[in-house]
């Protein structure tokens, strides 16, 4: 399976990254273990999580996803077969931000929960405007130099702060951001393409976008508002039914999928993989069956006519 480089880090990833946000939430420990086993069996290698997963669940304090991944690694001995990506900066147990002390404290907690001596890709989860980028990058740079982190990336940062961070890294002679993790999919594409893609291409940042299936909408399983009633993400799915654009995109996915023999989810992810600067979309699944279906996206090839049809349907 072909792999794409994650910036200049020396890391490479297969065409899909497994999202760990569901581990310990909508996927219990046994199901999470089965998904992780199957992911590796299929030839994929990069697992993305965060120290804040899953603080939004009543009774959770954060770190639940990392802890499950750590138990899986210990049980199966697959550490050298995978790349671990996690994040710091979101609120966890009353603390948030990217100050030096917080970065240094929380990386140790993540390493302990993951039961490993290194994190392959350590990402700043959210910008902290109260902390100078120089302070954050010096802290991250020390982690890279110490071998606790192999490479660093940014998620949900304003474009200007990404540019400032890269400039600060060069001035200080420390590790720079190599990856960018924004929201990007056929429906939510305008902001990335306007504001973030130019930065990524200018600085050679590799993009590993989240919500590649628009919280499940682009899988095609939600065709009307009543389909989302009672779903964990029902509130976030409502916007996709505003106007006719969402259903227009689903129609194009059905059309293209019929020609290439693929499901709407597979076509949606294949479209992302075909975009400039994209290494691999992050996908979350709650069953092995879902993973088996999603994984086939890596072999779906879209010609220029298919890409053009999808672009027209998703134009804003």
Catalytic sites, residue numbers: 53
Rg of the chain in Å (alpha carbons): 19
3-class secondary structure, 172: helix
Instruction: Residue 298: name the closest of 5, 6, 17 by CA.
Output: 17
The enclosing H or E element of 249 equals helix 245-260
Cβ 220 vs Cβ 258: under 8 Å: no
d(CA 308, CA 100): 46
d(CA 280, CA 277): 9
Cβ 56 vs Cβ 26: under 8 Å: no
Phi first, then psi: give them for residue 87, nearest 5 degrees. Answer: -140, 160
d(CA 241, CA 221): 13
Cβ 143 vs Cβ 170: under 8 Å: no
């Amino acid at each position: 399976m072909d792999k794409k480089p994650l910036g200049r880090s020396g890391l490479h990833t297969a065409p899909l990254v497994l999202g760990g946000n569901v581990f310990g939430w909508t996927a219990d420990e046994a199901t999470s273990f089965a998904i992780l086993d199957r992911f590796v069996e299929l030839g994929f290698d990069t697992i993305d999580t965060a120290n804040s997963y899953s603080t939004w669940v009543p009774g959770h304090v954060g770190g639940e996803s990392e802890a499950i991944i750590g138990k899986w690694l210990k049980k199966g001995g697959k550490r050298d077969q995978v790349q671990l990506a996690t994040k710091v900066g979101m609120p966890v147990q009353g603390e948030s931000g990217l100050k030096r002390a917080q970065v240094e404290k929380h990386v140790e907690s993540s390493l302990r929960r993951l039961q490993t001596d290194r994190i392959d890709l350590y990402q700043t989860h959210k910008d902290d405007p109260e902390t100078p980028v120089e302070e954050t990058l010096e802290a991250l740079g020390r982690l890279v130099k110490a071998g606790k982190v192999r490479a660093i990336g940014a998620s949900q940062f304003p474009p200007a702060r990404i540019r400032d961070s890269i400039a600060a890294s060069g001035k200080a002679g420390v590790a720079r951001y190599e990856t960018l993790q924004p929201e990007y999919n056929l429906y939510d594409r305008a902001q990335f393409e306007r504001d973030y893609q130019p930065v990524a291409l200018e600085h050679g940042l590799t993009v590993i976008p989240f919500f590649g299936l628009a919280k499940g909408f682009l899988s095609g399983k939600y065709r009307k508002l009543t389909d989302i009633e009672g779903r964990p993400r029902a509130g976030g799915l409502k916007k996709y039914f505003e106007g006719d654009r969402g259903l227009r995109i689903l129609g194009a996915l059905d059309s293209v999928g019929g020609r290439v023999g693929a499901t709407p989810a597979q076509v949606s992810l294949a479209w992302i993989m075909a975009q400039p600067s994209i290494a691999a979309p992050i996908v979350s699944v709650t069953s092995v069956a879902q993973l088996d279906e999603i994984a086939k996206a890596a072999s779906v090839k879209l010609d220029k006519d298919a890409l053009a049809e999808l672009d027209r349907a998703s134009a804003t």
